Amino acid sequence: MDVDPTAAPAAPATTRPLRVGLLGYGLAGAVFHAPLIAATDGLVLDTVVTSDPERQRQARAEHGEELRTVADADGLFARAGELDLVVVASPNRTHVELARRALEAGLPVVVDKPLAATAAEAEALADLAERRGLLLSVFQNRRWDSDFLTLRGLLAEDALGEVWRFESRFERWRPKLKGGWRESGDPSELGGLLYDLGSHVVDQALVLFGPVTSVYAESDVRRPGAATDDDTFVALHHASGTRSHLWVSSTAAALGPRMRVLGSRAAYVKYGLDPQEDALRAGARPRPGEPWGEEPESAWGVLGADTSASPAGPGQEAEPVPSRPGDYPAYYAAVAAALREGGEPPVGAREAAEALRVLEAARTSAAEGRTVRLG
């Protein structure tokens, strides 16, 4: 189900807040999920699961001393009858097991990306959720990035004409390892950039341009001491005819454009990342009626055809396009509305399975040096 992230969800009914249990209080839990849950009308953060005493203290300091903290998942599931939603923001290797336990306990679930290691595991979770009549959604927050929302609006207006190529980059300059499971070479950890940032760029390409018929990838381990991919390129051929070229890297000493989209009528070029992650990391919080996710004019992308260097002489000029505000809070607002009213989740598990099929194909392509056909 393709839910338009620009559409405002219906307001939840005026009943008691839905109580949320959060599994994990590392980067995903503390920086993204907990603040967004706390900012959502109709949701209340009830319980945080972390075995780290310092993180327990941090959670209570940030969300109130009345917040429950427990050391493990058993402590949360023992209180399943007191909760209305479970959010899985723990390391990737635990996503499937914890999502399954939540569903079997009768609880709706939000899972941080990636939902699973394989499309088959994701489909099995989707089947379980449907049998039990429970919401299962995947936190693909980058569908609510400023640049993505802006591009989606331009496509809806047919401002670019037929899109021939979509280039998307999540590049960073991190020549030294940070450590932790995300950089582990253990396949069970699902570390590396393909399943991390790659989950975002592949999901965005599928939402914008539809199903993929073939996948080619190059995946490298560049940094000394690295054990998993830190510099990866993925090329997708969509059934619609568009080709997506996607880069994720920790080794880019010079960053390329965040997006370059080439169409039959015009191009859209955008530099710089959406500001919401940096704002959340710095402690900023979305509040009703206050600006959020807004980019300065200096960060806007440009639309048009830059022919200033063409031998044919000047032609159509590229003009700045105001960036739409990013809106991560819309994800949990849509989750709350779906729970209250029984509608579709903002990102469904079967959508996640389609992205995982592409990621699996990319891993195979990179390992075997060949194009992988899908469908």
Which tokens in the block code for residue 117? Answer: 């290691």
Alpha helices in 4-81 (DSSP H): 34-38, 53-63, 73-77
Q: Are 181 and 299 contained in the same domain?
A: yes
Domain count, the chain: 2
Q: Are 212 and 310 contained in the same domain?
A: yes
Q: Are 126 and 202 contained in the same domain?
A: no
21 within 8 A of 49, measured Cβ to Cβ: yes
Report pLDDT for 314.
46
Q: What are the pLDDT digits (tens) for 107-153?
A: 999 999 999 999 999 999 999 999 999 999 999 999 999 999 999 99
∠ CA(256), CA(360), CA(347), 5° rounding? 75
Q: What are the pLDDT digits (tens) for 153-206?
A: 999 999 999 999 999 999 999 988 887 767 676 676 677 899 999 999 999 999
Which tokens in the block code for residue 282? Answer: 């710095």
Alpha helices in the chain (DSSP H): 34-38, 53-63, 73-77, 95-104, 119-132, 146-156, 197-209, 276-281, 329-341, 349-368
Q: Are 182 and 316 contained in the same domain?
A: yes
Residue 136: HSE in the Cβ half-sphere, 13 Å Cα cutoff: 31
pTM of the model: 0.91
Q: Which is it for strands 43-49 and 259-263: parallel, antiparallel or unpaired? A: unpaired
Instruction: Answer whether residue 190 is part of any domain.
Output: yes
Domain that holds residue 87: 18-142+329-347
CATH code of the domain covering residue 68: 3.40.50.720
- Taking alpha carbons only, the member of 166, 170, 168 closest to residue 230 is 170
Q: Are 130 and 211 contained in the same domain?
A: no
Q: Are 342 and 243 contained in the same domain?
A: no
Q: Are 177 and 98 contained in the same domain?
A: no
